[in-house]
Amino acid sequence: MSRDATRLRVSRALTRWFAALWPPLGFGALVLGGWEAGARWGGLDPMMLPAPSEIATQLRLGFESGIYPMHLGVTLLQAMIGFVIAILAGVGVGALVSATPLVERTLNPFLIAFEAMPKIAMAPLVIVWFGYGIWSKVVLAAAIAFFPVLVSTILGLRACEPGRLDVLHSLGASRAQVFRLVRLPSALPFIFSGVNVAVVFVLLGAIVGEFVGAKAGLGTLILAANENLETARVFSILGLLAGMGMLLHFGVTAVRQRLLFWAGPQAGPPTA
Amino acid sequence: MMATPLIAVRELSKVYPTAKGERVQALSRINLEIGQGEFVSLVGPSGCGKTTVLRILAGLIADYTGDVSVSGKALHGPSREVGVVFQDANLMPWRTALANVMLPAEVLGLNRRLARARAQELLGMVGLEGFERKLPGELSGGMRQRVAIARALIHDPAVLLLDEPFGALDAMTRDTMNVELAAIAARSKKTVFLITHSIAEAVFLSDRVLVMSSRPGRIVEVIPVALPRPRGLDIIADPAFAATVLRIRRLLDGDTASALPSIAH
């Protein structure tokens, strides 16, 4: 009985998976197939659009030579340090701003001005300040990813249900207790939507920083390959970046599900 | 009988400033005394200031005039002698039922192991044994409010304040909860102060019912409820019950004569 039940369950799960996955998989196969055919027989210029098989070869070569892992490691390290800084600073400043009205009134115009400025424009200056090593990239990544975390933290801390606060206040709880026991956990669903944006922004910051000036990283690889007109290599690195971004996004989602088991599943906001 | 009132409120007034800079007299010279172990309800129309009275007793409103004391001590802000159940359960959705009940113990820095044992016991008393590990999202509205009652009792306060605790529940659940609340009040021997707009609920549960009128909020009459305890739901058929409800109804209708007759529960 149980074997049949198990078999039934497995087949049902497979059916569900297939139902969910066939549209994107089918679409991807169609696009790649058409692209490959166009490159082989349709006269697509390999300088513009190299064949997917050629891109895959470049990806394999890059990994076999150890060049991609090394540069990937540098970019990832910069992005992750920037990510941690952005979260700590975003949540910290957000908590400070929403805890003290005077601080909020003082900082608000500056925060808005800084947010409105395209942070990428600071890249050359940041390189001058922090040099060609990893720290200029870390700073750039953190600066870009800081705002989504800050804004979502402020919104989340503001959105706390007054009833929950009443419970703590009626017990004479201290401000620190109110923050730790109610405000921060209440704000977490909001904060995570900011973190989801931030994880993509740190990659952006790191790559732009590498474009402007760096010794290593996937951004420098893209520039070098582009100068040599190795278009397939450029595509392979773009594919690598896309895959990495997706993995980071899923990582954040996994952490969210662990921490926010109580908030129910929720698709992340569009990662701008 | 009122040798040492557990709650004493004298000449309590409260004025709210409005956005336009006007002043609205929310409460006007409220006097009330509640004795040890007594169950007293405050009924009145919406917006008469009942909740303001409760929030003052809970220490959530500080700028009032008059004297308020609990257990003989003047009230300055929130008091450990008071446990509050709000209109919404206001549970923390990330905490299990047990952890929610233990929250006040954490805030007040009580012994964790003792609090845990007591929380377990209280959950049993409100009929939620076996639900300790459930999250609020997995509980029904009535169950959540039971958790809130257990939470209000965890630090063993002398007084239980209830602000329309079952207002959001359906009529059937509400009846059940009222029967259980009466039992909990009797078992825990707590002094209970209940805010409600349901006259029947107030009469069913209380030793005395304070009737409030609005603008400004003041107590117009104190009605003793001379019905034997324990009371079951069949007491609704008792002529004395009906007479008491009717008496309060008339008092409130006088207050809202120009308004639509409200539908009492």
Judged against a pLDDT cut of 60, whether residue A269 lies above it is answered with no
| Chain A positions in Cβ-Cβ contact with residue B104 (cut-off 8 Å) | 171
The question of ipTM being above 0.90 is answered as no
Rounded to two decimals, the pTM is 0.82
User: Residue A31: what pLDDT?
Assistant: 95
Encoded tokens for B47: 């917006």
Judged against a pLDDT cut of 90, whether residue A265 lies above it is answered with no
Across the interface, of B77, B94, B137, the residue whose CB is closest to A172 is: B77
Judged against a pLDDT cut of 60, whether residue A45 lies above it is answered with yes
- Cα angle B206, B212, B217 (rounded to 5 degrees) comes to 145
Check A170 against B77: CB less than 8 A apart: no
Across the interface, of B90, B108, B137, the residue whose CB is closest to A167 is: B90
Judged against a pLDDT cut of 80, whether residue A36 lies above it is answered with yes
Pick from A189, A100, A205, A101: nearest CA to A147: A205
Output phi, psi for A252, to 5 deg: -65, -40
* B32-41 burial: b if 16+ Cβ within 10 Å, else e: bbbbbebbbb
Alpha carbon distance, N-terminus to C-terminus of chain A: 50
User: Residue B264: what pLDDT?
Assistant: 42
Check A264 against B108: CB less than 8 A apart: no
Taking the Cβ of residue B116 and every Cβ of chain A, the question of whether any pair is shorter than 8 Å is answered with no
User: Residue A94: what pLDDT?
Assistant: 94
Q: Which CATH topology does B7-81+157-255 take?
A: Rossmann fold (3.40.50)
User: Residue B3: what pLDDT?
Assistant: 58
Taking the Cβ of residue A249 and every Cβ of chain B, the question of whether any pair is shorter than 8 Å is answered with no
User: Residue B74: what pLDDT?
Assistant: 86
Residues in contact with A18: Cβ distance below 8 Å, sequence separation at least 6, in sequence order: none
User: Residue B237: what pLDDT?
Assistant: 86
Mean pLDDT computed over every residue of chain A: 91
Judged against a pLDDT cut of 60, whether residue A102 lies above it is answered with yes
pLDDT tens-digit series, residues A89-98: 999 999 999 8
Mean pLDDT computed over every residue of chain B: 87
Chain A residue whose CA is closest to B87: A163
| Chain A positions in Cβ-Cβ contact with residue B138 (cut-off 8 Å) | none
User: Residue A267: what pLDDT?
Assistant: 45
Output phi, psi for B67, to 5 deg: -115, 135
Q: Which residue is associated with the tokens 């931030």? A: A198
Q: Which CATH topology does A59-259 take?
A: MetI-like fold (1.10.3720)
User: Residue A223: what pLDDT?
Assistant: 95
Judged against a pLDDT cut of 90, whether residue A183 lies above it is answered with yes
- Per domain, the residue ranges of chain A are 59-259
Check A262 against B93: CB less than 8 A apart: yes
* Rounded-to-integer distance, Cα A251 and Cα A210, Å: 24
Across the interface, of A163, A166, A262, the residue whose CB is closest to B135 is: A262
- Per domain, the residue ranges of chain B are 7-81+157-255
A47-61, A101-115, B249-263: which range is least confident on average?
B249-263
User: Residue B126: what pLDDT?
Assistant: 87
Chain B residue whose CA is closest to A166: B60
| Chain B positions in Cβ-Cβ contact with residue A171 (cut-off 8 Å) | 78, 104, 107-108, 155
